[in-house]
């Protein structure tokens, strides 16, 4: 895996070795235990966790997480739903994602180093960065419904030939 300059500095600062990363199509993904190591090095000891939404039947859990360090507080959210999670432990996944994101806020490497909280399955079933596959997070039916609405919204598109309707009338 290749690391850019910014990532190398980040690795040196927090004493992270390559084994704590994996390569997702060229983007370095730091594993959860790597983020916890960063938190330890920074001195983040406490997290304030708040349940925002929980629906066990629908498999949805949203957790708000805050942490304070040297008087600075960062807050972020972790969510798990059937659209972004195949893990049965939705609470644990939402907490893990929320924590990873908050820790990252303290490191200033957003958009450079990712957490596996940022991954979703793309069109081909492979894991990809969530911010690059927004179109595929929705189901096929949702995509078609949206496209139908957009097609119908194109004003003044008039049918000028329709053999199907003609044969229906006959």
Partner 1 sequence: MKNLNLRSSNFINYIFGKYVSREEQLALDLEGKEREIEGDWQKYIMNYGNLHEKHGIAEWVVWAEEMPNYILDKQKSFSVPNWLDLDQEETISLSSTPDGIKSDFSCILEVKCSMGGKSCYKDLPKDKLPQIYGQQMVLNSWLESQKNKERVEKTHLINWTPNHTKIWECKRNEEFENYLKKYLEIYSWALLNEKDDELKKPIEQFKGEIEKSISLIYEAKVCV
* Residue 151 near partner 1 by CB under 8 A: yes
* Residue 134 near partner 1 by CB under 8 A: no
Structure tokens at 39: 């938190």
* Residue 169 near partner 1 by CB under 8 A: no
Site string for partner 1, 83-122 (x = CB under 8 A): ----------------------------------------
For partner 1, which residue of 12, 86, 162, 170 counts as binding (CB under 8 A)?
162
* Residue 161 near partner 1 by CB under 8 A: yes
Residue 161 burial (C-beta neighbours within 10 Å; 0-12, 13-18, 19+): exposed
Enumerate the β-bridge partners of residue 50.
64
- Of 58, 92, 68, 67, the closest CA to residue 78 belongs to 92
The binding site for partner 1 (CB under 8 A) comprises 123, 136, 140, 143-144, 146-148, 150-152, 154-164
């Amino acid at each position: 895996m290749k690391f850019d300059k910014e990532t190398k500095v980040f690795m040196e600062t927090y004493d992270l070795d390559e084994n704590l990363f994996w390569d997702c199509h060229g983007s370095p993904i730091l594993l959860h235990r790597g983020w916890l190591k960063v938190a330890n090095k920074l001195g983040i000891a406490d997290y304030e966790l708040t349940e925002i939404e929980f629906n066990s039947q629908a498999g949805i859990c949203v957790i708000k997480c805050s942490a304070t360090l040297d008087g600075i507080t960062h807050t972020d959210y972790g969510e798990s739903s059937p659209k972004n999670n195949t893990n049965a432990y939705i609470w644990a996944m939402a907490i893990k994602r929320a924590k990873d994101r908050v820790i990252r806020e303290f490191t200033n490497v957003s958009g450079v180093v990712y957490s596996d909280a940022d991954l979703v399955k793309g069109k081909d079933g492979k894991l990809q960065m969530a911010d690059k596959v927004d179109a595929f997070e929705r189901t096929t039916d949702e995509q078609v419904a949206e496209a139908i609405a957009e097609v119908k919204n194109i004003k003044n598109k008039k049918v000028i030939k329709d053999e199907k309707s003609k044969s229906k009338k006959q």
